[in-house]
Amino acid sequence: MNGLLLLCLLLYVGGQRSSACQQPCSCQGSAVNCSSRSLTSSSLPTSFPVGTTHLHLHSNLLTSLPNGLLDGLPSLRSVTLHNNSWVCDCGVLYLRAWLLRQPTTSVSHHGVKCSSPPELRGRLVVYLTEEEVLESCHYWYCDLALASQVCLFVFVVVQAALLVALLVFLKRFERLSKEARRTAEESFTAGEGPGENSYTSLKGDIN
């Protein structure tokens, strides 16, 4: 019974939290006002009340919208995003895709402009082509892939060099051991030789 009560309380608190107004925004009914609060992409609340209908995010320092931030808000009717410092690289793809999904009347597309990179400054985010966005992207994973390819190449070359060195060493070892065996045989027969010689010469002396 107590456990059930605790569970209900936890659910209640959890429910409260997800629908509560997040600092530093202010809420009036289903309208959430986060405008003019010097919010950056990292200080922006990570979620908004599920029933939010109007969301004001304009006049902040936002450079990108975290992926999925505006998903899961079924009642959302308007979002203001103008007057921010949108960076139009890979990070803008979510914002651009979200804007493209909206009916033009629900949101003011016209204020959502790139502030960087320089070649895209002043451009409307919604009208950026995918190529333009991707061109300005820094593909760190491509660099990583290239670096790993180079590492792999170097690794293979080193392996090949080691293998060649090993083969050369084995060849030389084989030759040396063959030589050693031959000299051992030679010295053995040579050692027998003089014995025999001395024996025969001894025999000769006796005779």
Given the rule CB under 6 A, which residues bind ligand NAG? 33, 35-36, 56
- In terms of DSSP H, where are the helices of 86-139? 93-101, 130-135
Nearer to ligand NAG, 35 or 52 (CB): 35
Nearer to ligand NAG, 28 or 207 (CB): 28
Smallest separation, CB 89 to ligand NAG (Å) = 29
Nearer to ligand NAG, 25 or 93 (CB): 25
Smallest separation, CB 53 to ligand NAG (Å) = 13
Nearer to ligand NAG, 24 or 194 (CB): 24
Q: Whose structure tokens read 């333009």?
A: 132
Give the Cβ contact number of residue 67 at 10 Å.
Answer: 13
Give the span between the Cα atoms of 141 and 156, in whole angstroms: 22
Smallest separation, CB 35 to ligand NAG (Å) = 5
Q: Which residue's C-beta sits nearest to ligand NAG?
A: 33
Smallest separation, CB 147 to ligand NAG (Å) = 46
CB 75 within 8 A of CB 52: yes
Tokens at residue 174, please?
């084989």
Nearer to ligand NAG, 26 or 42 (CB): 26
Smallest separation, CB 103 to ligand NAG (Å) = 22
Give the span between the Cα atoms of 130 and 172, in whole angstroms: 61
Give the Cβ contact number of residue 175 at 10 Å.
Answer: 10
Smallest separation, CB 83 to ligand NAG (Å) = 12
Nearer to ligand NAG, 35 or 41 (CB): 35
Contacts of 75 (CB under 8 A, 6+ apart): 30, 50, 51, 52, 53
Beta strands in 43-155 (DSSP E): 54-56, 78-80, 86-87, 114-116
CB 97 within 8 A of CB 125: no
